Amino acid sequence: MTDRDRTPGRTRRGRFVRYAAGSAGAVLVSALAFAIAYRLLGLGPQLASGAAFLAGALVNFSASRFWAWQRRQRSGLGRDVVAYVLLALGMAVVALGVTSLTDAELAGADPTRRAILVEVSYFATYAALFLVRFLVLDRVVFRSRHQVPSTTRA
């Protein structure tokens, strides 16, 4: 690792701080999309989760790739998008399952209480997967050639 790679912006800690800030922005966008879809439009937990997922994923991918991991070059963008989409879809399936189960469990509950608890279950799922996603993004999706161990022998 060179001195340039050790600068605060290039350390794992620096990436994590930027990832966390970008994720916070994505959560806000996602929360707004979920609330609008579920509460105002009455679309149900599946469509609300889908709307929140799409809104948050767009913000999160952009913040992660271009800011947290500072990958501004166009080369590798397609590979990064495909890998990110696969990771995000896996997480979305988990969130969809959790919100659907929560919604079903609270079928007879007060609509406001039910809406709040379904929203909480959506975000609790993503909170539980937060560190897992960082590690996958850091070690697999946005892994730079500087992080790849050398396999050649002298």
Total of domains in the chain = 1
Burial of 113 (0-12, 13-18, 19+ CB in 10 A): exposed
In-domain check, residue 151: no
DSSP string, 86-114: HHHHHHHHHHHHHHHHHHHHTTTS-HHHH
Per DSSP, the chain holds a count of helices (H) and strands (E) of 5, 0
pLDDT digits (tens, 9 = 90+) for 23-57: 999 989 998 998 999 889 999 888 998 898 899 99
Strands (E), 4-150: none
In-domain check, residue 57: yes
In-domain check, residue 2: no
Q: What average pLDDT does range 96-115 have in this prediction?
A: 92
In-domain check, residue 130: yes
In-domain check, residue 1: no
- How far apart (Å, rounded) are the C-alpha atoms in residues 108 and 87? 34
In-domain check, residue 29: yes
In-domain check, residue 150: no
- Does the pTM of the predicted model rise above 0.85? no
DSSP 76: T
Q: Domain range spanning residue 96? A: 8-141
